[in-house]
Amino acid sequence: MKSRIWGSALAAALLASVPATAFQPRDPADTDVAASEQTPPDRTTPEERANTARLNAEQAARARADNVTYEQEVSAVRQQIAHDQAAFADETAAYEAEKARVAAQAEEERLKYEADVAQWKADVAACKAGDRNRCAKPKPGGP
């Protein structure tokens, strides 16, 4: 990331060093055209301009490589997020299914308990009414 910032700063500095007159069309009637082409307004030599162009090309290549790397990292992060979201959805579905199974089992046990309590109450009422077959059997060895 720092290299991209430094590269951008370098590119901006190089672009700022090019005089604005270099981009203006020249008047063909100007007699100093040949002289100005031999000595640029910024007083750089052809070798310096060639080095500047080479450095600019190198920096542009590094910036393109950095951009490719960045896009690959962004793509990898997006894939990881999609994977994590899918895994979360699967785990949530499994959790909800287990929660429903446990709730159904608890309801079944509650209904069985209520039926057992109702049967016991009916047996106690019948025992008190005189139906000795429905009375609880005494425990062996008990009083």
- pLDDT at position 51: 96
Half-sphere exposure of 31 (CA within 13 A, CB side): 0
Element (H, E) at 128: helix 46-128
| Residue 71 contacts residue 16 (beta carbons within 8 Å) | no
Structural domain count, the chain: 1
Domain contains 63: yes
| Residue 105 lies inside a defined structural domain of this protein | yes
Q: Token pair of 50, please?
A: 């060639």
Residue 101 falls inside a structural domain: yes
Q: What is each CA distance from 138 to 93, 126, 133, in whole angstroms?
A: 51, 17, 12
Each of the 143 residues of the chain gets a pLDDT tens digit; together they read 566 666 666 566 655 555 555 555 555 555 555 544 565 678 889 999 999 999 999 999 999 999 999 999 999 999 999 999 999 999 999 999 999 999 999 999 999 999 999 999 999 999 999 888 888 887 787 55
Instruction: Tell me, yes or no, whether 72 lies in a domain.
Output: yes
In a domain, 142, yes or no: no
Q: Which residues span the domain enclosing 64? A: 35-133
User: What span, in angstroms and rounded, lies between the C-alpha atoms of 138 and 56?
Assistant: 103
Decide if 96 is inside a domain. yes
Q: Does residue 51 sit within a domain? A: yes
User: What is the model's pLDDT at position 16?
Assistant: 59
Residue 139 lies in a domain: no
